[in-house]
Structure 1
Amino acid sequence: MKVFDILAEQRILDAQRRGEFDGLPGAGRPLDLADDLLVPPELRMMNHILRNAGAAPAEIGMRREIAALRAEIAATPSGTVRDELRRRLAWLIVQLGERSRDA
């Protein structure tokens, strides 16, 4: 462990002992990371923090839109509207794949 990691961990533990984290919104509840199923586990917490700060990466918005489109497609009967939704979904998936590849 690096010196800064040890110091940070010690300060966090001290703050916990003093009760500085008591009463925070969501305290005692598990984080909802279900919308990040396509994100590697080591990046989920970072994305969660960024999203809460209003600075989520574009990929998060794209993943949400993909999930919403999939639900909409499932609820839409066959036809022109469904075909257009499927084209939009395919385009988003390709765009997301290109972003992942470029990163």
Structure 2
Amino acid sequence: MYFLSRLVEEKIKQAIAEGEFDNLPGHGKPLVLEDFSEVPEHMRMAYKVLKNAGVLPLEVELRKEIAALRQQLDACNDEAQQQRLRKELNDKSLKYNLLMERNQRRQQ
């Protein structure tokens, strides 16, 4: 195994010295790495498919909606509107917490 690793390293160094990596697409641009480290391993492929389709997982969508509701609530001056926003925020938070609890049970 050590021999193979060393051989690969030598080939890479040779290619670099000969300039074979100089004109690659994306040269000089940062890599776009997908971070699915917080996603359970058995769900990562599904998340990748959803991401490629432009669809957000339900928990991500709920987190965004909760954040937006909190901002609306902070900016709101009308008592009736605040009450409606609080109820909606509580409903979304409960739904999110139940979803996360269900996901956690599946991992165990």
Q: TM-score, normalised by structure 1?
A: 0.56
Corresponding residue pairs, total: 75
Match of 2:30 in 1: 28
Alignment match, 1:70: 70
1:19 is matched with 24
Instruction: After TM superposition, give the deviation of residue 50 of structure 1 in Å.
Output: 4.2
Q: What CA distance in whole angstroms lies between the structure 1 residues aligned with 2:85 and 2:62?
A: 14
Q: Distance in 1 between matches of 2:52 and 2:75?
A: 30
Q: Could you give the per-residue CA deviations for residues 45-88 of structure 1, whole angstroms, max 9, x where no partner exists?
A: x6688446413211111110000000000000140101110110
Considering Cα pairs closer than 8 Å and 6+ residues apart, tell me whether 1 or 2 has the greater RCO: 2
* Bigger Rg, which one: 2
Which residue matches 1:54?
Answer: 54
Say what the alpha-carbon RMSD is for the aligned residues.
3.4
Q: What is the TM-score of this pair, normalised by structure 2?
A: 0.53
Gapped runs of 5+ residues in structure 1? 1-12, 34-40
Structure 2 unmatched runs, 5+: 1-11, 13-20, 104-108
